Amino acid sequence: MKRILSLILTLSMLLSCVLLAEAEAPAKLSICSPDNTFGLSTDPELQQAVVNMLNEACNVDLEAVIPPIGSYNDKLETMMAGGDVPDVFSISQAMTRLPNYVTREQCLDLTELIAKSEKLSALDQSYFQALAIDGKIYAIPYYYPRVKCLFLRKDVMEKYDIQLSETPTTAEFITEMSKLKGTGVIPFSFPKWIDNFQYFLNSFGAYAGIYQNADGVYVDGMQEPQMVDGLNYLRELYTSGVMDQEFITTENATMREYVYTGKAASDIDYVANYSNYISQSAAAEAATDVQPIYMLVGPDGKGGGLNESIQTAWCISSDCKDVDAAMRVIEALVTDPAVHAGFYNTGVEGAHYTIENGVAVATEKATNSGYSIKYNYITDSFIPDFSSLPYQPDEKMKAALELQRSIIDKGMELRGPKQMIPAGKSDLYDENSASITNYWKEVISQIVLGSVTVEEGLANYKNFWNSVDGDTILAELNR
């Protein structure tokens, strides 16, 4: 009898131990985000260190999928199409992609979960609303809207007596930058991404693409009269020699390097990249400060920085088995200073960096993979205070970041419009939106390069518009 009793007791103890262990076992989740996150290193061991940090901070067991950023969307969409939607995933180009994912019921409605979350509900809800669809929130952003301005090297300004304020007129910009012609310095370097031209179109009240005008009516920006002035100005920028004549093949990295090295005087970039110009021009042995030009004021007093709004955000799969755990992960990524900084920029102490006199110093292993300490999180994120972190930027970087903060604020204040057409409002638009965007980009590049005149380009666009039954699209959107 005693033996049976002791056996039962032992078994029940074992069973309770197993149950307890199961109850406390971290939730298993999959997370998918490109390799410009997870501590900004492509080294698998360093990425795993960041995953471990997240596991520990959120009591989860993450299986991380970290595709290269250049193939991120392809990978995510293949996984989704194959029925492998990650539990937590980051989306880029959210304004165009999110509506599709929501239509396919792949994203969980997070509205109530955000309302229940003490930390997330404390954030400015207008940023969440920027990506809302039919009043429901499916994606949680983690940074302020992205705004681009022009950055102009101050040493070049002084040397060639370029007199430009932070909000000069369109005419002043061409006149002053023309002083650089024949000096061997490219006055204005521009990348091959045609949508950046919107910065200049803002000065004329023109908008490339379909948008809702002041009267609340959807119109096609390419066919509005002000577009002609905008396109003529773009063409003038090119023919006057102010804009880099080889812009159509220029990558973002090359454009930036032109300015870092002094090969070009100015370029267009995110306001949050100001500190890069300080550090990288020094690295290129051409140290200088840069002046932001937030907008060019057009003939009618219009203008605005290039507003890319919020394009990257976190979603939870509608098939996620443990939504609470998934929300814990997103909460930590968006609001926890240590997790946010580690995930988006600095990585993990001991793996990515060591702390010397309160300053983070990259480890040799991390440096070998191209990693360097970045402090963008201080100015990019919703988190107001990172003073709890055991490392801080040095005095020079602190000063640059303080200035960057004020540049971001001013950029936000002077940003131009960004429109989002809700999905499901016009089937014809949903089908043709990508080809409409591609076509206006093609027409604008042809006009700027001089392959066609403004009139010819717009006539070609009109033909295309008719071929996709554009008027019906507008009628459906305005219904």
Partner 1 sequence: MMTAKRANAIRESNARKAFRICNVIFLTLVCVIVVIPIWNVLITSLAADKDVMGGVYLLIPRSLTFKSYARVLNSGYMRGFWNSLFIAGVGTVLAMVITTPMGFALAQKQLVARNFFMKAISLTLVFDAGIIPLYVLIRMLGLIDNRWALILPFMLSTFNLIIVKNFMMSIPTSFVESAWLDGCNDLMALIRIVIPMAVPILSAVTLFYFVSFWNRYTEAVMFINNSSKYTLQVMLRALIYQSDGSLGEGNIVYDNTKMAVMVLGMLPVMLIYPFVQRYFVTGLMLGGVKE
What single-letter amino acid sits at 94? A
Q: Are strands 146-153 and 290-293 parallel, antiparallel or unpaired?
A: antiparallel
What single-letter amino acid sits at 110? L
Does position 280 interact with partner 1 (CB under 8 A)? The reply is yes
Does position 78 interact with partner 1 (CB under 8 A)? The reply is yes
| String of DSSP letters for 33-89 | --TTSTTT---HHHHHHHHHHHHHHHTEEEEEE---GGGHHHHHHHHHHTT---SEE
Residue selected from 71, 165, 223, 451 as contacting partner 1 according to rule CB under 8 A: 71
How distant, in Å, are the alpha carbons of 11, 95, 144, 250, 383 from that of 100? 52, 10, 23, 31, 30
CB of 42 to partner 1, least distance (A): 5
User: How many angstroms separate the most distant Cα atoms in the chain?
Assistant: 104
Choose the binding region for partner 1 from 264-272, 297-305, 330-338, 390-398 (rule: CB under 8 A).
264-272
How distant, in Å, are the alpha carbons of 18, 206, 220, 366, 368 from that of 43? 36, 44, 46, 8, 9
Does position 374 interact with partner 1 (CB under 8 A)? The reply is yes
Does position 73 interact with partner 1 (CB under 8 A)? The reply is no
Cα separation, 292 vs 189, whole angstroms: 14
Residue selected from 89, 233, 258, 440 as contacting partner 1 according to rule CB under 8 A: 258
Per-residue contact string for residues 436-465; x = within reach of partner 1 by CB under 8 A = ------------------------------
Count CB atoms within 10 A of the CB of residue 467: 11
Residue selected from 125, 226, 372, 419 as contacting partner 1 according to rule CB under 8 A: 372
Does position 252 interact with partner 1 (CB under 8 A)? The reply is yes
Residue selected from 253, 301, 387, 388 as contacting partner 1 according to rule CB under 8 A: 253
Cα angle, residue 220 at apex, residues 215 and 223 outer, rounded to 5°: 110
Interacting positions 166-205 with partner 1 (CB under 8 A) = 193
Choose the binding region for partner 1 from 74-82, 200-208, 217-225, 471-479 (rule: CB under 8 A).
74-82
313 HSE (CA, 13 A, CB side):
28
Quote the tokens at residue 232.
């003529």
Residue selected from 106, 202, 250, 433 as contacting partner 1 according to rule CB under 8 A: 250
Q: Which is nearer to partner 1, 147 or 316 (CB)?
A: 147
Does position 380 interact with partner 1 (CB under 8 A)? The reply is yes
Interacting positions 315-344 with partner 1 (CB under 8 A) = 344
Count CB atoms within 10 A of the CB of residue 192: 15
Query: Mapped to the 3 state alphabet, what secondary structure does 209-271 carry?
Result: CEEECCCCCEEEHHHCCHHHHHHHHHHHHHHCCCECCCHHHCCHHHHHHHHHHCCECEEEEEH
Cα separation, 186 vs 177, whole angstroms: 9
CB of 284 to partner 1, least distance (A): 5
Tokens 């409002």, located at residue: 425
Per-residue contact string for residues 139-168; x = within reach of partner 1 by CB under 8 A = -------x----------------------
CA terminus-to-terminus distance, the chain: 83
Choose the binding region for partner 1 from 53-61, 110-118, 256-264, 299-307 (rule: CB under 8 A).
256-264
CB of 430 to partner 1, least distance (A): 20
Does position 284 interact with partner 1 (CB under 8 A)? The reply is yes
CB of 193 to partner 1, least distance (A): 7
Q: Which is nearer to partner 1, 43 or 349 (CB)?
A: 43
Query: 196 and 148 in contact (C-beta within 8 Å)?
Result: yes
Query: 150 and 141 in contact (C-beta within 8 Å)?
Result: no
Does position 272 interact with partner 1 (CB under 8 A)? The reply is yes
Residue selected from 251, 409, 427, 469 as contacting partner 1 according to rule CB under 8 A: 251
CB of 453 to partner 1, least distance (A): 30
R_g of the chain, CA atoms, integer Å: 26
CB of 344 to partner 1, least distance (A): 8
> What's the sign of the alpha-carbon dihedral 380, 382, 384, 386?
negative
CB of 462 to partner 1, least distance (A): 30
Does position 270 interact with partner 1 (CB under 8 A)? The reply is yes
Choose the binding region for partner 1 from 126-134, 155-163, 215-223, 280-288 (rule: CB under 8 A).
280-288
Interacting positions 30-49 with partner 1 (CB under 8 A) = 35-36, 40-48
* Burial class for 109, CB neighbours closer than 10 Å (0-12, 13-18, 19+): middle
Contact residues toward partner 1 (CB under 8 A) are 35-36, 40-48, 63-71, 74-75, 78-79, 81-84, 146, 193, 250-254, 256-258, 260-261, 263, 269-270, 272-273, 276, 280, 283-285, 312, 344-345, 364-365, 367-372, 374, 376, 380
